[in-house]
């Protein structure tokens, strides 16, 4: 009877541990999915902003939409900044395109992330204030920040390289100040 009790107790403890690990794993997967979706949403807004910044003139995509997108870029960056906790480091298992360097070099990652936030805020303010040259510089700085972060901390498939490189390193790195 004592052995049965001990065996049952061990089984319950192991089951609860497995439930906890399963719950942690599922939470990490949810965090990764939220992060991925937010980053894709951020990218969509950057692509919509690009013609507005590049043309330096009125286009169908107007200032109000540009301000909204710039605000949302900043909000998405602020929202995702805290979604990089250690429990979501599943890169070795292929569940995220983030490399282990995100967690190995957190100060550098935070520095790049903060620079992106600053650039996004400057972009928003430049659009609001109709400061065309400052808008170009802010977009350039945002592209540099995001591109540097992705170059250091994101695992890419060969099929993704063309889109990634053209998006972050194109025109926006030529005349940054």
**Model confidence over 115-149: pLDDT tens digits?**
999 999 999 999 999 998 898 889 888 888 888 88
Percent of the chain with pLDDT strictly greater than 90: 25
Residue 95 CB-density burial (10 A; 0-12 exposed, 13-18 middle, 19+ buried): middle
Residue 2 lies in a domain: no
What is the extent of the structural domain holding 121?
35-173
Residue 139 is part of a domain; what is its CATH number? Answer: 1.20.120.10
Residue 25 lies in a domain: no
- Under a CB-based contact definition with an 8 Å cutoff, are residues 72 and 43 in contact? no
Task: Give the chain's domain count.
Answer: 1
Residue 48 lies in a domain: yes
Question: For the segment 63-108, what is each residue's pLDDT rounded down to a tens digit?
Answer: 899 999 999 999 999 988 988 888 888 888 788 889 999 999 999 9
Residue 29 lies in a domain: no
CA distance 142 to 122: 9
Residue 145 lies in a domain: yes
Residue 153 lies in a domain: yes
CA distance 62 to 75: 20
CA distance 9 to 78: 45
Residue 97 lies in a domain: yes
- CA–CA distances in Å: residue 36 to residues 3, 5, 30, 40: 49, 46, 10, 6
Residue 69 lies in a domain: yes
């Amino acid at each position: 009877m004592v052995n049965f009790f001990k065996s049952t107790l061990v089984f319950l403890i192991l089951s609860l541990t497995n439930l906890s690990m399963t719950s942690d794993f599922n939470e990490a997967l949810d965090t990764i999915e939220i992060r991925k979706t937010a980053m894709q949403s951020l990218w969509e807004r950057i692509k919509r902003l690009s013609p507005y910044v590049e043309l330096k003139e009125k286009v169908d995509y107007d200032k109000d939409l540009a301000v909204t997108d710039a605000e949302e870029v900043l909000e998405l960056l602020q929202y995702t900044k805290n979604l990089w906790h250690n429990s979501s480091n599943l890169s070795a298992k292929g569940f995220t395109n983030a490399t282990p360097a995100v967690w190995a070099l957190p100060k550098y990652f935070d520095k790049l992330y903060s620079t992106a936030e600053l650039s996004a805020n400057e972009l928003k303010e430049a659009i609001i204030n109709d400061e065309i040259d400052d808008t170009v510089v802010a977009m350039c700085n945002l592209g540099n920040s995001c591109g540097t972060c992705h170059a250091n901390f994101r695992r890419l498939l060969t099929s993704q390289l063309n889109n990634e490189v053209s998006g972050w390193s194109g025109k926006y790195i030529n005349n940054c100040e």
